[in-house]
Amino acid sequence: MTANLIQIGNSWGIRIPKKIVEQFELKTISLEILQDGIFLRPIKPNDISGWDTPELRKAARKEKQEAFEGIDLNDKEWRW
């Protein structure tokens, strides 16, 4: 399939046929720049693939450390 670029203000875009939009339930897409092209992927409303980011991992580690502050894990009364 081919598509022509169209000017939209100062940007450029492509028209995606209605049947494709409906088939993949497109509302939002992820645009990935590859070495030899561009890859478009639909993002579903419940898609959590973008949740795993370095910033979120760092925040989770910090929360985990803070959760154990003030707890003596060597306390003999401590039970798992």
74 domain-assigned: no
Torsion sign over Cα 21, 23, 29, 34: negative
Which single residue is written with the structure tokens 């720049």?
33
* pLDDT tens, position by position, 11-66: 999 999 999 999 988 888 888 899 999 998 888 776 666 667 777 777 777 776 66
Note whether residue 12 is domain-resident: yes
| 22 assigned to some structural domain | yes
**75 within a domain of the structure (yes/no):** no
What is the sign, positive or negative, of the torsion defined by CA atoms of 21, 25, 28, 30?
Answer: negative
Residue 52 located in a structural domain: yes
Domain total in the chain: 1
Of 45, 13, 15, 11, nearest to 1 by C-alpha is: 15
Specify if 30 maps to a domain: yes
73 within domain boundaries: no
Give the structural domain span for 21: 5-67
pTM of the model: 0.48
